[in-house]
């Protein structure tokens, strides 16, 4: 076996080991620690629920095309579901992010979960923006001509061409959602694998342990 | 890996159905957005067309076209990615990432916005041909003189509705050319003649949008209070919520130096990148990562847990034992 094969066996073995140690019970637990009792724990699930609504309504919009969603009636109604779904998505995601900050959710080896969450937020912002550009009304035109200066000035306008509806629409309905869904999936896997972060020590525990980090 | 998992002995477990929670969350959001879409509708304002500008703002149309023809428009001078100009080149000292990728979408406004559409219109209006030939044969300085004379005459033009009377001037073939261009515009043929970077699949609308991007779109945006200094995209959508999650970014444009510097966009973009990196780095930054522990907002989230641990049965005994152990060590 060549060195390359060894290397390959090592990373494939690592993937296998992950698969062996990651069980269905971790993914869909039937029990949770007793401290998981707050409306705050719903924000993540509601964000995910909104993402599902946005993706499904987006699939219906893409299947029918721009003329359909710009026409009053079923198309406009479905675009409304997509639009309000995005509003709900950001509303719950920002609540989730804020709550996780105040809970110090990166503690005890959960830094990766935080990093993926923040990156998902950043990708969501760009994905939503390409949606505004793809709508095909005056606001799209205005945002296109205004934002071109921002992207050009930042140095990425030479590739990220907001005046090219084909590129922006492709990014909006395929590339960025694929990246976002992959990130959110990994984020969820990490949440399930590590379990929900325990509370900071109570007052009487602090006496025992000293200040918590 | 076990170290990540919560200790079942320390933290008693309760029954939990994640599938049920996920389904309920999805349904709650679905019901909310269906009600919102049905009751509140969705924002939409018809796009601005070149045809509208050509018919309702004839002087503005002719001014725009004259500047494009003479390479004195904002886009003609813009810089990368459209050309090698410096008019809209943003730089902080010698840092100008705008030039990094070079001219990737070359746009020659005189050709794309005026001369090519007119050459396409020659079969419809054969009288255009001599005007175009005269323009092509003239020197650059002659062309500049014609356009300057035309722009001066245009400033004294009388417009009534969609018709406009431009006084006579030493402007050579320019009036004939631009009148023909306006006829194309008011007939609704112009954006089709402009957006031909690929003549079949017209996904790239840069030429027509760049034609509109100056005063025409600005005027319409001003009507809706969408200009950058008015929080622009934030109250996109009129009475509907806009992308309010961009508030920190839009806020930068309201304060100096972002609001005053010609490199405001560049500064705002990289400021947001720094903020994103800081947000990502929170778990790794000593001091910052301890903030939640100091702020103690988490006690609201886990109030039942703390109540049971600190005041529940046996809490006093546990505290006393802990204190004894602490003193013993």
3-state secondary structure of B6: coil
Report, in angstroms and rounded to the nearest whole number, the Rg of chain B calculated over CA atoms. 32
Distances (CA, A) of B131 to A69, B66, B138, B174, B190: 44, 15, 11, 8, 19
Is residue B322 within 8 A of residue A208, CB to CB? The reply is yes
Query: Is any Cβ of chain B less than 8 angstroms from the Cβ of A145?
Result: yes
By C-alpha distance, the chain A residue nearest B1 is: A194
Q: How many CB pairs under 8 A join A and B?
A: 308
Helices (H), B204-243: 206-212, 215-223
- d(Cα B265, Cα A81) in Å, to the nearest integer? 32
Q: Where are the domains of chain A?
A: 40-103, 109-195
Query: What are the C-alpha distances in Å from B225 to residues B222, B235, B237?
Result: 5, 8, 11
CB proximity A14 to B under 8 Å: no
For residue A29, the model assigns a pLDDT of 82
Separation between Cα atoms, residue B251 and residue A125, nearest integer Å: 16
Contacts of B304 in chain A (CB under 8 A): 35, 37-38
Angle between helix B58-69 and B215-223 (nearest 10): 140
User: What is chain A's percent helix, strand, coil content, to nearest 5?
Assistant: 75, 0, 25
- Tell me which of B214, B215, B264, B265 to substitute to probe the interface with A (most A C-beta atoms closer than 10 Å): B265
- Residue B319: what pLDDT? 59
Q: CB-side exposure of A140: number of CA atoms within 13 Å?
A: 26
Q: Tell me the shortest Cα–Cα distance from A33 to chain B, in angstroms.
A: 4
pLDDT (tens, 9 = 90+) of chain A, 213 residues, equals 445 555 557 888 888 888 888 888 788 888 888 898 889 999 999 999 999 999 999 999 999 999 999 999 999 999 999 999 999 999 999 999 999 999 999 999 999 999 999 999 999 999 999 999 999 998 899 899 989 999 999 999 999 999 999 999 999 999 999 999 999 999 999 999 888 999 999 887 776 665 544
At B64-82, the pLDDT tens digits run 999 999 999 999 999 999 9
Taking the CB of residue A87, how many other CB atoms lie within 10 A of it? 21
Asked if the bond preceding B257 is cis, omega within 30° of 0, the reply is yes
Q: Which residue of A has its CA nearest to B18?
A: A28
Min Cα separation A1/chain B (Å): 31
Which tokens belong to B53? 């500008």
Instruction: Write out chain A residues lying below 8 Å of B225, CB-based.
Output: none
pLDDT of residue B229: 58
A158 touches chain B (CB under 8 A): yes
Is A64 touching B (CB cutoff 8 A)?
no
User: Looking at residue B323, what is its pLDDT?
Assistant: 60
Tens digit of pLDDT per residue, chain B (329 long)? 344 455 666 788 888 888 898 899 999 999 999 999 999 999 998 999 999 999 988 999 999 999 999 999 999 999 999 999 999 999 999 999 999 999 999 999 999 999 999 999 999 999 999 999 999 999 999 999 999 999 999 999 988 877 889 999 999 999 999 999 999 999 999 999 999 888 888 999 999 999 998 788 888 777 776 666 555 565 566 788 889 999 899 889 889 999 999 999 999 999 999 999 999 999 999 999 999 999 999 999 999 999 988 887 666 666 566 566 666 65
For residue B237, the model assigns a pLDDT of 67
Spell out which residues of chain A touch residue B34, defining contact as CB-CB under 8 Å: 81
Which two structure tokens, joined as six digits, stand for B117? Answer: 């559409």
Count other C-beta atoms under 10 Å from residue A93's C-beta.
23
> Of A194, A31, A41, A49, whose CA–CA distance to B4 is shortest?
A194
Q: Is the Cβ–Cβ distance between A95 and B276 less than 8 Å?
A: no
Residue B74: Cβ-neighbour burial (10 angstroms; 0-12, 13-18, 19+): middle
What does DSSP assign to residue B246? G
């Amino acid at each position: 076996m060549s060195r390359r094969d060894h290397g390959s066996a090592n990373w494939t073995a690592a993937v296998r080991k992950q698969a062996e140690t990651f069980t269905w019970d971790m993914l869909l637990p039937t029990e949770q620690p007793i401290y998981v009792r707050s409306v705050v724990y719903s924000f993540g699930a509601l964000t995910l629920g909104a993402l599902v609504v946005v993706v499904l309504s987006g699939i219906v919009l893409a299947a029918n095309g721009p003329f359909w969603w710009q026409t009053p009636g079923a198309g406009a109604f479905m675009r409304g579901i997509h639009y309000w779904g995005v509003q709900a998505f950001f509303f719950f995601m920002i609540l989730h992010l804020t709550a996780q900050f105040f809970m110090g959710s990166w503690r005890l080896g959960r830094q990766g979960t935080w990093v993926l969450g923040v990156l998902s937020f950043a990708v969501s912002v760009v994905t939503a923006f390409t949606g505004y550009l793809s709508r095909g009304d005056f606001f799209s035109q205005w945002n296109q001509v205004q934002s071109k200066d921002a992207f050009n000035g930042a140095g990425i306008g030479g590739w990220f061409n907001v005046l090219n509806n084909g590129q922006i629409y492709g990014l909006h309905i395929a590339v960025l959602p694929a990246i976002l869904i992959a990130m959110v999936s990994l984020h969820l896997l990490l949440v399930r694998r590590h379990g929900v972060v325990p509370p900071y020590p109570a007052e009487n525990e602090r006496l025992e342990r000293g200040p918590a980090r | 890996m076990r170290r990540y998992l919560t200790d079942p002995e320390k933290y008693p477990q309760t029954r939990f159905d994640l599938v049920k929670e996920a389904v309920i969350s999805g349904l709650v959001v679905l019901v909310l957005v269906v009600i919102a879409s049905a009751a509140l509708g969705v924002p939409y304002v018809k796009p601005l067309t070149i045809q509208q500008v050509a018919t309702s703002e004839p002087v503005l149309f002719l001014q725009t076209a004259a500047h494009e023809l003479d390479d004195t428009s904002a886009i003609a001078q813009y810089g990368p990615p459209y050309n090698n100009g410096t008019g809209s080149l943003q730089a902080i000292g010698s840092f100008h990432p705008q030039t990094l990728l070079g001219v990737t979408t070359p746009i020659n406004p005189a050709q794309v916005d005026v001369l090519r559409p007119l050459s396409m219109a020659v079969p419809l209006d054969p009288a255009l041909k001599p005007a175009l030939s005269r323009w092509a044969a003239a020197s650059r300085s002659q062309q500049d003189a014609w356009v300057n004379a035309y722009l001066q005459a245009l400033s004294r033009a009388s417009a009534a509705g969609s018709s406009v009377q431009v006084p006579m001037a030493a402007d050579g073939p320019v009036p004939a050319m631009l009148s023909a261009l306006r006829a194309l515009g008011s007939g609704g043929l112009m954006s089709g003649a402009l957006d031909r970077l690929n003549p079949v699949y017209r996904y790239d609308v840069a030429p027509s949008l760049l034609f509109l991007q100056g005063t025409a779109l600005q005027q319409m945006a001003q009507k809706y209070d969408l200009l950058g200094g008015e929080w622009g995209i934030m109250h996109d959508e009129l009475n509907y919520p806009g992308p309010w999650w961009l508030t920190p970014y839009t806020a930068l444009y309201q304060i100096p130096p972002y609001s005053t510097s010609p490199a405001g966009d560049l500064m705002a973009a990289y400021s947001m990148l720094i903020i994103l990196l800081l947000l990502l780095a929170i778990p790794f930054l000593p001091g910052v990562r301890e903030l939640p522990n100091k702020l103690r907002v988490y006690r609201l989230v886990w109030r039942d847990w703390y109540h049971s641990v600190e005041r529940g049965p046996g809490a006093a005994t546990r505290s006393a034992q802990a204190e004894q152990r602490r003193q013993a060590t």
